[in-house]
Amino acid sequence: MRRVLVTGGGSGIGRALAQGFADAGDAVTIAGRRIEALEETARGRTIRCRQADVTDEAQVAALFEDGPFEVVVANAGGGAAGRLAQVTLAQWSATLAVNLTGTFLTFRAALGGMGPGGRLIAIASTAALKGGPRIAAYAAAKHGVLGLVRSVALEVAEAGITCNAICPGFVDTPLGQAAVDAVQRRRGIDRAAALAQLVADNPTKRLIAPAEVVAAALFLASPGAAMVNGHALSVSGGEI
């Protein structure tokens, strides 16, 4: 039974990932800032909950005190949307901290004990592969995550470890639905029209199911993906 760590496991993609790995028979630990949300993810499954802020070096290090994990998924992320001229330094710094620094701290701590067969997976975004209006801070952070992944992959390859990124488009999670709400408010249009605008770049014209991101992560964590390293796996219906 593999030990798997998923950060940002209290909601959305992180919740789906944690439950997916647990259902596959792995011993899953989830980390996040809100213990109630973590406990909701774990309900009905054997999932260990650890309250931790991935931007705090000591709190991240504490996640690994009980030994190494075979699979570490750096999923915690987020960031406020807005035109660059409206983004404050505090918002910029917070976005880079949770998305990029959090991934750095998580991967660095993971490599302290990870051995051959280990898997590092970052949940990035299509924003790691292209820019977009009103997401400058988020896109910059996710581009940084992809640079980190590609560099770490070269460092760990000879040790039998892989490091990859999953880059989803808009996923049908509470965060994705909030994005639909934001478009609806900003444009003054109905919800169906707002959803259509949000997924316009996705050739399938729909939100991505969380299970589709989980399937990608399970593949990257599998023995069959041993030669997939430094890769940005786009889960976006052909958007990228």
Among candidate residues 138, 176, 199, 221, the one labeled active-site is 138
Tokens of 145: 């995550």
Distance of alpha carbon 146 from alpha carbon 160, whole angstroms? 20
CB burial string 202-226: b at 16+ within 10 A, e below? beeeebbebebbbebbbebbeeebe
CB count within 10 Å of CB 117 equals 15
Residue 203 bears catalytic tag: no
**Helix %, strand %, coil % of the chain (to 5):** 50, 15, 35
Q: Which residues are catalytic?
A: 138
